């Protein structure tokens, strides 16, 4: 097990498999809202579903729609289980808080390079800690 330590985040403890990307994320710009599948052809996760995964991305992209959209995704079972960013912008945090989805950022080591897709993660936002539980 390895640990990532950093800023205190938002939300409850959650365990789910990681989905890691080198591209920034926006719930409006990149996602097919009906399916929860990344639909931007130039995104490195194009074709993959974010539902129930812990999305690990470098940062959040422009667009304020994410502030609303995570709740709607959540209501249809299509939202990510958690969000881990190298550094986030406010809108993704506002959307995550609105939907009650755990979110964390500013962690060491860098989550984007140290976590692999498929690894089981445990987010402990209140302690600023992420544990990798194997897999991947």
Partner 1 sequence: MYLTADEEAMAAGSDGPAVKWAMDYQLAVGGFFGARRLVPVRSAHAHCDGEALGEPGVRFLEQLADQGARARIPLTLDPRSTDFSCALDIGQTQSIVDTERRILAAMARMGALTTNTCINYQTVDVPHGGEHLAWGDTGTVIYANAVAGARSNFEGGPAALAAALTGRVPAYGFHLDEHRRGTVLVELADQPRDSADWGAVGCLVGRRFPGYWEVPVIDGAERSPSPDEVKQLGAALASYGSHAMFHLVGVTPEARTRADAFGDNEPRERLVIDRAALDGAYRGFVPEREGPDVVVFGTPQLSVFELAELAALFEGRQVAGPVYATTSAAVLRSAEEYGYAETLRAAGVRLLSGVCYYLMTARELGRRNGFRTLVTNSAKLANIIEGYGYNPVFRPTEVCVDAAVTGRIAG
- Judged by the rule CB under 8 A, the positions of this chain that interact with partner 1 are 8-10, 24, 26, 28-33, 39-43, 58-69, 71-72, 74-75, 87-91, 93-95, 97-98, 103
Q: Which is nearer to partner 1, 2 or 87 (CB)?
A: 87
Closest approach of Cβ 8 to partner 1, in Å? 8
What is the closest distance, in whole angstroms, from the C-beta atom of residue 134 to partner 1 in the complex? 29
Specify whether the CB–CB gap between 114 and 86 falls below 8 A.
no
CB closer to partner 1, 6 vs 17: 6
For 34-52, give one letter per residue: b (16+ CB within 10 A) or e: eebbbbeeebebeebbbbe
Q: Least distance from C-beta 135 to partner 1, angstroms?
A: 28
Burial class (CB in 10 A: 0-12, 13-18, 19+), 78: buried
């Amino acid at each position: 097990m390895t640990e990532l330590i950093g800023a205190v985040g938002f939300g409850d403890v959650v365990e789910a498999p990681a989905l890691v990307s080198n591209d920034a994320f926006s719930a409006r710009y990149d996602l097919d809202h009906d399916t929860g599948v990344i639909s931007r052809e130039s995104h490195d996760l194009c074709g993959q579903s974010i539902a129930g995964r812990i999305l690990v991305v470098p940062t959040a992209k422009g667009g304020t729609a994410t502030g609303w959209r995570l709740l709607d995704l959540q209501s249809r079972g299509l939202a990510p289980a958690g969000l881990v960013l190298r550094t986030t912008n406010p809108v993704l945090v506002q959307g995550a808080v609105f939907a009650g989805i755990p979110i964390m950022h500013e962690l060491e080591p860098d989550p984007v390079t140290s976590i692999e897709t498929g690894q089981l993660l445990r987010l402990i936002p209140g302690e600023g800690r992420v544990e990798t539980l194997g897999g991947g």
